[in-house]
Amino acid sequence: MSSRSVHPEIGVCGLSCRLCPLYHAEGESRCGGCKSESRMAVGCSLITCAVKRKGIEFCWDCGESGVCGKWKKHREFGREHDSFVCYQRLEDNISRISRSGVDEFEEEQKIRGGLLREMLLEFNEGRSRTHFCIAATVLEVEELRSALNKARKRSEGLEMKEKSRVLRAILGEVAGRRGYSLKLRK
């Protein structure tokens, strides 16, 4: 694989870097994605194995992906827990990519990322970044659009703190109906 990734904002394991709180951080703590120069330098075991050792961009491109203990353990952990990035949709991401291809998946992630940026710009009082990132990961695109539109109408004229509460409440209602958690699972 060349030193430049074809899909730099999709992690080697199937996570969307665009929806990670660290991707939207400011200053030195900002992460440019799993395949950015800084993350490649530190790396995770999956990056080291796939990108550095085997020269492939994604774990599912590996001939050993079906029997890889490292990737299996990562996916199993993701079914129950989140480290910092939201893993609730990891299996859905991998399934979607295998059905429709990584390019179609990336297009959806760009839409989700755009909606997340709108949430952060218009509703983040400084403490809701992770919450909004999780919502952008687990809710459907149309649910996110609808929640944003409702929040804009309901919060017109309010201060940022109140605006944030309005959007968080709307997202919480949608997540509750769908049985999703908008909190990190530890």
Per residue in 120-140, pLDDT tens?
Answer: 999 999 999 999 999 999 999
Task: Let me know if residue 75 belongs to a domain.
Answer: yes
Q: Which range, of 56-70, 79-93, 157-171, averages the lowest pLDDT?
A: 79-93
- Whole-number Å distance between alpha carbons of 136 and 113: 7
Task: Let me know if residue 172 belongs to a domain.
Answer: yes
**How buried is residue 45: exposed, middle or buried, by Cβ count under 10 Å (0-12/13-18/19+)?**
exposed
**What percent of the chain clears pLDDT 70, i.e. is strictly above it?**
91
pTM, to two decimals: 0.87
Task: Let me know if residue 183 belongs to a domain.
Answer: no
Task: Let me know if residue 10 belongs to a domain.
Answer: no
The total number of structural domains that make up the chain: 1
> Domain range holding 140?
17-177
Task: Let me know if residue 121 belongs to a domain.
Answer: yes
Task: Let me know if residue 86 belongs to a domain.
Answer: yes
Task: Let me know if residue 101 belongs to a domain.
Answer: yes
Greater confidence (108 vs 40) lies with: 108
Task: Let me know if residue 118 belongs to a domain.
Answer: yes
